[in-house]
Amino acid sequence: MRIDIVTLFPAMFEGFVNSSIIKRAIENNYVEVNIVDLREYTTNKHKKVDDTPYGGGAGMVLTCQPVFDCVKALRKEDTKVLMMTPQGKTYKQQTAYEFAKMTHIIILCGHYEGFDERIRTLVDYEVSLGDYVLTGGETASMVIADSIIRLIDGVIEKESHENDSFSNGLLEYPQYTKPRVYEGLEVPEVLCNGNHKEIAIWKHKESLRKTYFKRPDLLENYSLSEQEAKWIEEFKNKE
Ligand SMILES: C[S@@+](CC[C@H](N)C(=O)[O-])C[C@H]1O[C@@H](n2cnc3c(N)ncnc32)[C@H](O)[C@@H]1O
C-alpha cells in the first residue's frame, strides 16, 4: 500500500513516520508513506496556495490549482482520494478496515478556512474525526494513516487488532499485567487459573459489560446471542 499525504506542513510528520510501529511498517515495506508538500505544485510565483473567500468572510481558502495539479500528478488507476474535513462522515474502525484494503490513498490536509468547494470533485471520501474543528488536517491524517497501517497484514499480530475495541462491535475486555496485586488491587482470579475456556468466556462477558456501561449506543447495531442477552439482564439487575 502507498499513502500520499498532501500538506502545507511536511515537518509535522517527521515524528509520525520515524517512530514506533509506523516506522517499522515503512522500513519493512508494508507501506510507503510519502509526505507531499502542496506548495511544490503551485504555479504562483510567490508559492501562494490560498486566497480570500468570495463573498467575504474571515480567513483564507485553499485554491483549486495546486490541489488539482497535485492530485493529477499522484493519481493512479486504483487511487482513492480522502479529504480531511469536519464536514465528512465520522471515522470508524469499520472504515479503517475498508481503507486498509486499498492499494493507493491520497489524503488531502486542509488548513486555514479549508478547501475551495470545487476541490470536492476530486475526492472519493470526506473523512471527519468528530464534531469539532482542528486547525489543520495534518493531525487528522496521521490518525487515519495510523489506524490503516496497523491493519495491514504483518504490521502487528492479527490477533491483536481482531480483539481491539470496535472490531467485533464491542469494546475490548479489561487487560491486566504483572504484578498480580498492586496497592491492594487484584487481578481477577480467572485470568491466572490457566483455564482457557473460562478465560475466553470471562473476556467475552467483560467486553459486553464494558460496552453496556460505557458505550450502550454500540449495542443498538449489535445482534445479541442468547447468552449475551442473559448477561445484559444480569448487568441491568446490578445497576
Ligand atoms: C479550521 S479547519 C476548517 C474548517 C472549515 N472552515 C469548516 O467549518 O468546515 C482547517 C482544516 O482542518 C481539518 N479539520 C478540521 N477539523 C477536522 C475534523 N474534525 N476532522 C478532519 N479534519 C478536520 C480540515 O482539513 C480542514 O480543512
Dist. CA 40 → ligand 1 center (Å): 22
pLDDT in tens, 90-108: 999 999 999 999 999 999 9
Mean pLDDT of 107-131: 97
Query: What pLDDT does 162 receive?
Result: 82
Asked if the model's pLDDT at residue 60 lies above 90, the reply is yes
Confidence category of residue 160, pLDDT binned at 50, 70, 90: confident
Angstrom CA distances, 8 to 42, 65, 205, 218, 234, stand at: 11, 14, 47, 37, 53
Asked if the model's pLDDT at residue 167 lies above 90, the reply is no
Position 54: which residue type?
Answer: Y
Dist. CA 119 → ligand 1 center (Å): 14
Does residue 132 line the site of ligand 1, with CB under 6 A? yes
Mean pLDDT of 192-211: 97
Confidence (pTM): 0.95
**Residues 66/105, Cβ–Cβ less than 8 Å:** no
Asked if the model's pLDDT at residue 15 lies above 90, the reply is yes
Q: Which three cell numbers stand for residue 213?
A: 456501561
In the chain the domains, ranked by start, together with CATH numbers, are: 2-158 (3.40.1280.10), 163-238 (1.10.1270.20)
- For 5, the enclosing helix (H) or strand (E) is strand 2-7
Helix pair 137-149, 20-27: axis angle to 10 deg? 60
- By most ligand atoms within 8 Å of CB, the mutation choice from 60, 132, 133, 146 for ligand 1 is 133
Dist. CA 184 → ligand 1 center (Å): 46
Q: Which three cell numbers stand for residue 52?
A: 480570500
Confidence category of residue 123, pLDDT binned at 50, 70, 90: very high
Dist. CA 57 → ligand 1 center (Å): 16
Asked if the model's pLDDT at residue 161 lies above 90, the reply is no
Asked if the model's pLDDT at residue 76 lies above 90, the reply is yes
Q: How many other CB atoms sit within 10 Å of the CB of residue 34?
A: 13
Residue 44 dihedral angles phi and psi, to the nearest 5°? -75, 130
Query: What pLDDT does 159 receive?
Result: 84
In sequence order, which residues have a C-beta less than 8 Å from that of residue 172 and are 6 or more positions away?
163, 164, 165, 207, 210
User: Between these two residues, 157 and 33, which has the higher pLDDT value?
Assistant: 33
Asked if the model's pLDDT at residue 13 lies above 90, the reply is yes
- By most ligand atoms within 8 Å of CB, the mutation choice from 6, 85, 126, 127 for ligand 1 is 85
Please indicate whether residue 2 is annotated as part of the active site. no
- By most ligand atoms within 8 Å of CB, the mutation choice from 126, 127, 134 for ligand 1 is 134
Percentage, residues of the chain above pLDDT 70 = 100
Query: What pLDDT does 59 receive?
Result: 95
Percentage, residues of the chain above pLDDT 90 = 95
Query: What pLDDT does 238 receive?
Result: 83
Confidence category of residue 57, pLDDT binned at 50, 70, 90: very high
Please indicate whether residue 164 is annotated as part of the active site. yes
Confidence category of residue 112, pLDDT binned at 50, 70, 90: very high
- Among residues 198, 209, 199, 203, the alpha carbon closest in space to that of 231 is found at 209
Q: Which three cell numbers stand for residue 41?
A: 505544485
- For 126, the enclosing helix (H) or strand (E) is strand 125-128
